[in-house]
Amino acid sequence: MSQIADEINKSWHETFRILFGTDCKHNLEELSEWLFRDHYPPMYVKSSISGKPVTLCSTRYSKTSKFISQEEISYSRKHRLDINKIKDIDSILEAIEDRAYYAGNKIFGSTTNSESCDNITDCHYAYHSSVCSQSKQLGYSSYARDNSEYSFGSEIHSKGKYLIRVLGAAGLARCFESYIITNSSDLFYTFDCSGCDNAMFSFGLRSKRYCIGNLPLEKSKYLPLKKKLTQEAAEYINKHKTFPSVYDFPPPDKSKIKPLSITPTLAPKMDFKPIDEAFETATKVILGKPLSPVKNYRKFLTKRSDAVQIIKTIFGSEGLYSKYSWYRAVPHERAITMAEAREMESRHITLSESENLGSILKKCEAIAFYAVDFKEGQNTNNSYTQVEFNAINSYMCGDVTYSKNAAFDTMAFHSEAVFGCFRAIHSKYSIRCHDCFQLTACMDMDSCSYCSNSMFCHNCENLENCMFCFNAKSLKYAIGNVEVGKEKYAEIKKKICDEILAQIEKNGDLGFDICDLGCKK
């Protein structure tokens, strides 16, 4: 076992003792399959140069592409480009074939002590984790940010400490097997709870304490039962190296489910004008021609993002579904809307004197339903967006948080006018950009940061007016990692944009993107 793995396992055992009050008999590696369940899976390949193992934070790359580990990149290498041979996209791809490598094992900022990780920024001690920033003591976790620590098997969370199997959360402490949770502590096997403290096997609670199966208890009754159930859960994990998911309930018996008094409206009519105007501006700035309306370009924009679909809830209303994070594994027969969840909150189990882990789980079949939308904060003019958190003007998005004018995005955080992006952060007027930070007027960028007016680049930083660059830093007016000058760049970009526009307008799609560019030829 490496020094990093040894240190992370010490943190794992400490976290387990805090949550369960007893020791875990297994190290992280023995529990990896369980811990990574329901996550966006990483991709494990070998370097095309050295054959060493390479971890990538996503499976969106073709396995026939060429891969490289970050430490194998030579940023000082001088590339050649015969500018006179560049006539179209195919000629560019032929010219850059020797440098079109997708990079894994990417470590940025002040990160120390990481192993088998990718896209890690300013983190300390990370093991088999990806797309994490400003966090520490991470094992088999992903998309952790904003000072999360002691996080294991958890995904898309911020400001949390001592977490095991937590998906979609902010502001948590000491939580286990809990999804879509905000500003809570000491939760165990919960879904969609906010502002709660000490709750177990509960669903859809708001500002509650000492609840089991949504049933409020006196503290004196809650704590002994909590101790008993957590000890039984620890025994289960030690024996089976896994634990039932919050989603692992059988299909409900509809004849035993009482109807609700509400009939929620799924998607209010929205004003598409601000979104269409933002899309027109983005396409004009990037491609030189405004395109509109945005709904006509769904195929083009959903190459890597996940469009929202409509499903029927058990109560007959329409609900939302997409492959976004924790929603991907929601059993459709138990999906409900957030409005339905608020009425379901009052339904609870009953307890006897002889309850155990098995009996509690069995009783929870009557209340285990999953809200497939989430709305908090000031939200305006959003339609078919699953997670709205201070969102304005969004359509067909998985998660729009502190963002506006977004369509067909999987994740848009603190961004404006972003379209077809899988996780755009602090970005604006950008299209089909994935796992990117601080982009302006960019298209088809992957794992890039602090770039502007650029397109078709991978693993790049501080680019300005660049195209088809791989694993590069601090370039201006560059094509294929070679700076060509402002005038020549503008001339070639015009040809490329005309070719892109012709294909989109003819076919409704481009046929390729930054993630399969390396093997297009």
Contacts (Cβ under 8 Å, ≥6 apart) of 376:
182, 194, 388, 389, 390
Query: DSSP state, 82?
Result: -
- Give the model confidence (pLDDT) of 257-301 as tens digits: 888 887 666 666 899 999 999 999 999 999 999 999 999 999 999
pLDDT on residue 255:
87
Q: Residue 127: helix, strand or coil by DSSP? A: strand
Residue owning tokens 């957590």:
230
- Give the model confidence (pLDDT) of 134-190 as tens digits: 999 999 999 999 999 999 999 999 999 999 999 999 999 999 999 999 999 999 999
Q: What average pLDDT is seen over the chain?
A: 94
Whether 492 has a pLDDT exceeding 70, the answer reads: yes
Whether 518 has a pLDDT exceeding 70, the answer reads: no
Pairing of strands 422-425, 428-431: unpaired
* Triad 379, 444, 424: Cα angle to 5°: 30
Whole-angstrom distance, CA of residue 278 vs CA of residue 276: 5
The predicted model gives 466-484 an average pLDDT of: 97
Neighbouring-strand partners of residue 309: 321
pLDDT on residue 221:
97
